[in-house]
Amino acid sequence: MGTSIVGLGMTELGRVYGRSPRRLAADAVRLAAADAGLALGDLDGLLVSHGMGGSPGIELADTLGLRDLRLLALVNSYGATAGAMVSYAAMSVLNGSATTIACVFADAPLKPEQSAGSAYNRSSREWYGFGGMTAALGLRSVNSHYALAAQRHMARYGTTSEQLGAIAVATRAWASGNPLAQMREPITIEDHQASRWVSEPLHLLDCCLVSNGAIAVIVTSADRARDLARPPVHLWGWGQGHPGLRKERGSDFGLATGAAASGAAAMKMAGITTADVDVCELYDCYTYTVLVTLEDYGFCAKGEGGAFAASGALGPGGSLPTNTGGGQLSAYYMWGMTPLSEAVIQARGDGGQRQAPSTDVILVSGNGGILDHHSTLVVSPHEKGA
């Protein structure tokens, strides 16, 4: 017996105000159930993930009026959570713990009349202990830590800012065909280079958006999926990687990530190699994250991610369509639900202007923390082995 994603629910995404994360999450679950042709009472499992605001939690079950659940949990591996939730849901279906499980992420960090950049800022009062030492040295934001990782890759392999820019340009080209994308105006390498520094070597166009909203998916058995409303998206494989790298001399921080272990596990379970992958939906909190993930998955050799991106492989018409909805850089930032939702859209053939030419095998990544956590899914519109 296999497992499948049978429902996708997406609220409005972006500068969406007036609804709490819990309400957004409830709306997304309702939309996912309706998409699958299910009633809320058909759900016997709920996995919940929230952003930095700390809501919603498992009380979402009460908000939705769910009763007699066989599986209920709050899951958090930061940006790797969506892939982890789906794998836990699939395993629960396979072992009989539950039959029909909703997985949902919601967040609302944006506030009216507040800049997107300030949404994740920490107060100086939150720095204490040894964490205060890194803040005193200038590493006061996630941007700074990822800039350090990108700088390490550049120093070791000669990766350039223009090569990172090629990822931003390709992603925006895909976003132009996505009516839900927040940023659809095409950009050039020159635009990328002219955008302001956020934390050198990362320009503004190297960094993801900040968004409010919620996305949910529903996982059930492949047997049951055949009788539901929408084409099922079959789960072929999954894996995780949590390398625990320290930012210290001699470590591989910035050079390697948990994508290596996570991707290898997922592809082995799926019975595929990178040569079989038609589309990648990769976690792109920064352009650099895409580059290092492609390397660690084995789509190119270590240190060659920049040249691979600059070749045009990732954009429309390229050999490896990547982040076909515009990703987190140009579409919307819903942690790991951003790449997962686009994978479902592509596998169903619902991409419209941005539909990739072939979607038999889609690789989905999630990245959490400062390259600390990674999840990978392999999905397909076809049942495994069919």
The upper half-sphere exposure of residue 143, i.e. CA atoms within 13 Å in the direction of its Cβ, equals 22
- Give yes or no: 333 in active site: yes
How many CB atoms are closer than 10 A to CB 105? 31
**Residue 369 carries which DSSP code?**
T
Beta strands across the sheet bearing 100-107: 71-74, 45-50, 100-107, 213-221, 3-10, 233-241, 373-380, 362-368, 279-281
Q: Both tokens of residue 232?
A: 């099922």
The CA distance from 23 to 20, in Å, is 5
Q: At what angle do helices 259-270 and 287-297 cross, to 10 degrees?
A: 50
Q: Both tokens of residue 231?
A: 């084409």
Contact 331, 172 (CB under 8 A): no
- Position 349, amino acid: G
Indicate which residue of 157, 283, 288, 297 is catalytic.
283
Task: Write the DSSP assignment of 300-332 as a string of letters.
Answer: S-TT-HHHHHHTT-SSTTSSS-BSTT-IIIII-
Q: How far apart, in Å, are the Cα atoms of 146 and each of 9, 195, 237?
A: 31, 18, 28
Active site residues: 283, 333
